[in-house]
Structure 1
Amino acid sequence: MNKGFKTGFLVLVAMLLVACSQGTKQTQTPSVPKSDHHVRLVVKEDTNTVDEKVSFEEGDTVLEVLKDNYEVKEKDGFITSIDGIEQDMKANKYWLFKVNGKMADKGADQITVKDGDSIEFYQEVFN
């Protein structure tokens, strides 16, 4: 009886080991930095300027990079507020942006950023 108990116990342990090993495989993915791509992002408002190097994912647009780093509000594709700093329609003061020193000719949601780009958001008054 003792020999039968040992055999049964070993069979039970073997079954448990097999059953437990059939679960989902746990694989560890190596820790990878968010991105090796960076742009210079400048946000100017009156006398306050924030100038920083930020990372982005390949294929991101100017708008996505801005939203990843600031609280942004937009309407009909136009940026109306960055971190609570609103445009002032009564004063004709609006948010504009440049890419690599050139005034953007498309919306921020239509321009794909490239590694090393310089993006500058600023407010300007139109008379």
Structure 2
Amino acid sequence: MKNLTKLMMVALAGLALAGCGKQEEAGNKTDSSAPKTEQKATKSDKEEGKFKITLNEDDKEITSKELSFKEGDFLQDVMENEFDILEENGMISAIDGHEKNDKEQKYWLYEVNGEQPTVGAKEYKLKDGDKIVFDLKKLDM
């Protein structure tokens, strides 16, 4: 039953990610005719936060970093600035050369603060203090 649950979570994440594209936020363009004080306020509207990300393979740490983000940023967008990410069918298939392996049933799964999220990395909005772990490991089926 536990294996079926993991497989369903991977499938759900794939479906969620497949329907998602990069989203652009409205209002991130500034009017050059606006007074300088308004432009400064627009730029500082977004607060910054920090989160820790750890990459594991078979529960062994590959790397760990503390990264900054702005309010409203999505996990995968921030990751793409820090890591070499490959995507296949809407799912992360490789991070910094560590690739999924269909024959061995090894896939990238992630947790946020010790729990599996219900959305893919493209849809997960970061929160200050998040602890994110991506693990490339075999699904027990």
- TM interval, shorter chain, is 0.5 to 0.7
Structure 1 residue ranges, 4+ long, deviating more than 4 angstroms after superposition: none
Match of residue 128, structure 2, among 96, 100, 115: 115
| Cα shift readout 1:26-65 (whole Å, capped 9, x = no counterpart) | x9x99x9xx7311011111243431221111221111112
Give the 5 Å matches for 1:51-66: 51-66=64-79
- Aligned residue for 1:115, secondary structure, equals coil
Structure 2: distance between partners of 1:39 and 1:57: 11
Cα drift, residue 76 of structure 1: 2.1
Q: Could you tell me which amino acid in structure 1 is paired with residue 55 of structure 2?
A: V
What stretches of structure 1 of length at least 5 have no aligned partner? 1-26
Contact kept, 8 Å, 2:48 with 2:71, in 1: the verdict is no
Rounded to whole Å, the distance in 2 between the matches of 1:44 and 1:80 is: 14
Give the alignment partner of residue 114 of structure 2, picking from 88, 94, 101: 101
1:65-91 Cα shifts (integer Å, max 9, x gaps): 211210000122210000011000111
1:37 aligns with 2:49: yes
SS of 2:121's equivalent? coil
Local SS of the residue matching 1:89: coil
Secondary structure class of the residue paired with 1:66: helix
Q: Residue 116 of structure 1: CA displacement?
A: 0.9
Once residues 127 and 137 of structure 2 are traced to their aligned partners in structure 1, the CA distance between those partners, rounded to angstroms, is 25
Q: What is the root-mean-square deviation of aligned Cα atoms in Å?
A: 2.1
What's 2:31 paired with? none
- Give unmatched runs, 5+ long, in structure 2: 1-35
Number of corresponding residues: 97
Give the structure-1-normalised TM-score.
Answer: 0.68
Choose 44-53 or 115-124, whichever is displaced more: 44-53
Q: Normalization by structure 2: what TM-score?
A: 0.62
CA–CA separation in structure 2 for the residues paired with 1:101 and 1:90: 27
Identify the residue that residue 80 of structure 2 maps to in structure 1: 67
